[in-house]
Chain A
Amino acid sequence: MRAAVVAIAAVLSVIPVGAQSKPKAPPYSAKTAWGDPDIQGVWDYKTITPLERPANFGDRQFLTDEEVKRLEANAAKRLNSPPDENSPQGLVHAPYMTDPGQKVDEDRRTSLIIDPPDGRIPPLTAEAQTRLASRRTGGRDGGTDGPENRGSLERCITWGLPTAILPGLYNNNIRILQGPGYVTITHEMVHDTRIVPLDGRPALSPKFQQWFGDSRGHWEGQTLVVETRNFSDKLPYRGSGSGMHMVERFTRTGKNTVEYQLTVDDPHTWTRPWTLSERMRTSEGELYEYACHEGNYAMHNMLEEARDGEKAAAKASVKGVSE
């Protein structure tokens, strides 16, 4: 094998540099009627490539052919097989009722995060660690006194950003629609829509905080750049604060492909910015409504069960006293 590589390298070294480069495919250059790059469509971003590189891959950035084959076979098996003794307990969804994809991202990296080079979200700052510790003793602590103790996902408020555009168990789709001066991005998870102005207006005052932030866009060549700030600290992403700043870059690379890059920064939370890269494809179907509060029986059930648990505990304690 090594001899073959050396032989190929030797052959390559005598070929003039110019002759080695393949003719490049022309960039996808479809335009809207008013002349903007056309990135409209329903885009599917599901993938089994994890956000962060599992520690045991160490510094390795790319999967081997054999690993890709095995991972995709395992994912297909998991998705198309009934649960068995190896399936973890305590899953809200049996794996075969989910839609997380069966393929690794086309660039075959070991993580979606490409920077920092270790493929992982950077460490929290000391300030963020203190903030997190106080948050845990405050609201939204997973308690069951009332719905306010539960997170935004369980309350069907919003998945928030960047969560609503990161691959998950299902609803991994967005719809992009364009009009003169605006782009809209509708996230299937939980059908939130961002209406992104492109006219260069300034960002909202930091006094305004929104669950889904506030986005502004502009074009850099064929790439749509969307900057989002004004986040609410009611919905932290892995410890983030209201100062989180997202820069997204959407580049249509073909009729059915969009390259997506996201850089997240919050100096009050992480020791450095981090960036992920993923590829989106034309969705096989439509974007569906996910009116999450429609039948959110789980909220009622969780609170009811907590009250029943308290009653049972009180009864047991009275019984204990009387004995």
Chain B
Amino acid sequence: MKTLSACGAAALVLSAAVASAHHSFAAEFDANAPVVLKGTITKMEWINPHSWIHIDVKNPDGTVTEWMVEGGTPNTLFRRGFTRESVKAGMEITVEGYRAKNGANRANGRDLILKDGKRLFMGSSGTGAPIDGKE
């Protein structure tokens, strides 16, 4: 019985997760091409349907490559407590994500970590609001 309820719980969570997605991950990104990008934010596009974060990644030879990383939808990020003050040009960031299928310098952002170890778009509590002074 215990096992059955655990399965039920997992199924409930799963069905919520796949309820709706705006576009196909598989048509745009390669789940077998994980990338880790360390760079500086140059621009945050608060744009529908999904936000895009532009970062400059410094290569070992000193050159810089521009990347763009897909993030959450602006309405959602705002509801979770983020404003234009939360994501600013000049912030150093590490992005863990998946690269575009054609090898372009685009990625889907799975985890976005700031220099001090805090997660970008990650709140302090249920409301997920870093601006509410609780952090």
Q: What is the interface of chain A, defined by CB distance below 8 A to chain B?
A: 48-52, 54-57, 64, 66-67, 70-71, 74-76, 78-80, 82-83, 87-102, 110, 142, 144, 153-154, 156, 159, 163, 166-171, 188, 284-285, 288-299, 301-302, 304-306, 308-309
Contact = CB atoms under 8 A, between A and B. Distances in A.
Main secondary structure of the interface of B (DSSP, over half): mixed
Contacts, number: 194
Contacts of A298: 22-23, 28, 49-50, 70
B29 to A, nearest CB: 8
A297 B98 CA distance: 16
Interface residues of B, number: 58
Given A80-B123, A97-B121, A298-B28, A88 B19 contact: no
B22 A75 contact: no
7 contacts: A57-B8, A82-B113, A94-B110, A96-B121, A298-B49, A305-B104, A309-B101
B109 A292 contact: no
Interface of B: 4-5, 7-9, 11-13, 15-17, 19-29, 31, 45, 47-50, 52, 70-80, 98, 100-102, 104, 106, 108-111, 113, 119, 121-123, 125-126, 128
B73 A301 contact: no
Contacts of B49: 156, 290, 292, 294-296, 298
B111 A83 contact: yes
Centre residue among A288, A289, A297 by max chain B CB count within 10 A: A297
B23 to A, nearest CB: 4
